Amino acid sequence: MSTPRDIVTQALGLSLKNRPTTAGVENELRLVVNRALRQHWAAGCRINPRYFAAFVQVPSVTTTWSAGFWARPEDAEIVFQINNPASAAVKVVPADQAAAFQGYPAVQRWDGGYLGFNGPAGPSPTDALTLYYARRPAEAAAVDTPLDALWPAAYDGLLVMEVAIYLARKDGRADEQDALLAERDAWFTLYKNFLEHETLGEERLFHPDRFTEISEKPLAGGTPT
Amino acid sequence: MPWFGDWLGGGGSGSAVVGGPFSAGDIIRQARTRHPAFSDRAIPVPVALSLISTVQADLHQAAQQRDTFYVVGTYMHLLTTFNPAVPLPAHAGVSGGRVLLTTDADGTGELYVTSRPARMHAPRHWVAVLINQQLTLVGDADYWSNVREVDVYYAPVATALASEADALLLPASAWSAVIAALAAQMGARCAALGISGVDVAGLTNQANTAISVWLDTVGRRGKAIPLRLTGGVR
């Protein structure tokens, strides 16, 4: 797995105007790598949340809400399934429509977590719920710390381009930016295509459960084409 | 079969239990397979139950109009103490009935449910008229003194389905029609959600065809010609 130093080294090689880095600059660029990783990881979660899947059992907190409150995991980008202790799916429903779902285990979104209704089908206020979610990446603490192991290393080029764009923009090298942005977008397309097609032949009864359009684009480094 | 009620096998007093051979969940799962957009998320179960309740009520009423005996429950009214008012359960129609005479040896007689103007011309003794959703026995206590029980055959109403486990009232022959009709309703909802590629008109045409075939089966055209010794009293 690559380290931020690997990414930065490749980015520096993309322009003759880049200079060798100092320790301070390396640390600055490590933060740029982490930021780019978070950004593209989040975009990837919206395309294929199960690729970045994790789960955790969340205990209930009843000190404020007697019906039970389950906090969202701190590293959760997208929660896509909640199970009760009997491994039955818990539906997430709007509070004003809870009556229609009384026959099912159900919670509502609340304060970055989930609030129970204490309805006949539960979950009961003392249940621990299992949350399945697309997680956020672990960030590299040092320039030689490997990137999160779940990051698909084949698309390191995307992070390299983000660092190169950052350097060009910081130096005011507008003439280089357009070419770098175009190459960044090409890498993003490859990354997006990978997440859309990482497993083929999945049989489905219904439409894929997408959160957004598949043309999700990166946010930083200028407006992508 | 339970959807006949228990009158074919005789029985005690009280209302017959009526339920069809398949559950709301069976039908909803079948209808969902008609289009890949018909997922739980697009059509949550409470919505599907609401749709299938309406579909069933419409089909049941249409079938009842074509054959008053197509699905029948029995309401048993004891005459230990004479009471001419028979408080029927909620019903989509009343088909007739029978009277049980005082002793088993005396046997049974036919109960005729007639319109009020025709009641004096009914061919047998035991006549009742339906007024304001309540059946009223024609005659006084002396007239009905050798009758111990009146069994009324009625078509129950199709009540709203509240869970996937609830049984439909419709009989097994309605399988395709009710699935197609529900799929058409699901299609309309998905189209309203802005999901493209749902052929609402095509689904509706399929539903109309399936409903038409089934109603023909319920009515005369799909049946063997019934043998009648005498004319009806309708």
> Considering chain A, what is the average pLDDT of its residues?
89
Are A206 and B46 a contacting pair at CB < 8 A? no
Q: What is the DSSP letter of B221?
A: G
Which conformational region is residue B184 in: left (phi greater than 0), alpha (psi within -120 to 50 degrees), or beta? alpha
Q: What is the pLDDT of residue B229?
A: 64
Strand order in the sheet with A91-92: A69-71, A113-116, A106-110, A91-92
For the beta carbon of residue B74, count every other beta carbon within 10 angstroms: 22
Q: Which residue has the higher pLDDT, B205 or A214?
A: B205
Give the largest CA-CA distance in chain A: 68
Q: Is A207 an interface residue toward B (CB < 8 Å)?
A: yes
Contact B44 A103 (CB under 8 A): no
Global ipTM: 0.74
d(CA A25, CA B191): 55
Question: To the nearest whole percent, how much of chain A has pLDDT over 70?
Answer: 92
| Exposed / middle / buried, residue B12 (Cβ in 10 Å: 0-12, 13-18, 19+) | exposed
The single residue listed with the structure tokens 């003194």 is B145
Lowest model confidence (mean pLDDT) among A31-35, A66-70, B220-224: B220-224
pLDDT greater than 70 at residue B228: no
Handedness of CA A103, A104, A110, A115 (dihedral sign): positive
Could you tell me if B46 and A100 are in contact, meaning their C-beta atoms sit under 8 angstroms apart? yes
The string of pLDDT tens digits covering residues A98-146 is: 999 988 999 999 999 999 999 899 899 999 999 999 999 999 999 999 9
For position A220, what pLDDT does the model report? 42
Phi-psi region of A116 (alpha: psi -120 to 50; beta: other; left: phi over 0): beta
Q: Of the ranges A182-191, B80-89, B142-151, which is most confident?
A: A182-191
> Mean per-residue pLDDT for B23-52?
94
Q: What is the pLDDT of residue B56?
A: 95
| pLDDT (mean) for A37-63 | 94
| Nearest residue in B to A97, CA atom | B46
Provide the residue type at B191 as one letter.
Answer: A
- Residues in A touching B38 (Cβ below 8 Å): 206
In percent, the amount of chain B with pLDDT more than 90 equals 37
- Cβ pairs bridging A and B (under 8 Å): 26
- CB contact (8 A) between residue A100 and residue B39: no
Largest CA distance in chain B: 70
Give the DSSP H or E segment for B108: strand B108-114
A73: left (phi over 0), alpha (psi -120 to 50) or beta: beta
Q: Does B90 touch chain A (CB under 8 A)?
A: no
Residues 6+ apart with CB under 8 A from A61: A68, A69, A70, A71
pLDDT for B24 equals 96
The pLDDT of residue B123 is 57
Question: How many angstroms separate the CA atoms of B190 and A19, rounded?
Answer: 58
Write down the pLDDT at residue A125: 95
- What band does A16 get if pLDDT is binned at 50, 70 and 90? confident
Is B2 within 8 Å of chain A by CB? no
Residue pair B37/B194 in contact (Cβ under 8 Å)? The answer is no
Q: Who has greater pLDDT, B140 or B179?
A: B179
At B101-124, the pLDDT tens digits run 887 777 888 888 886 666 566 555
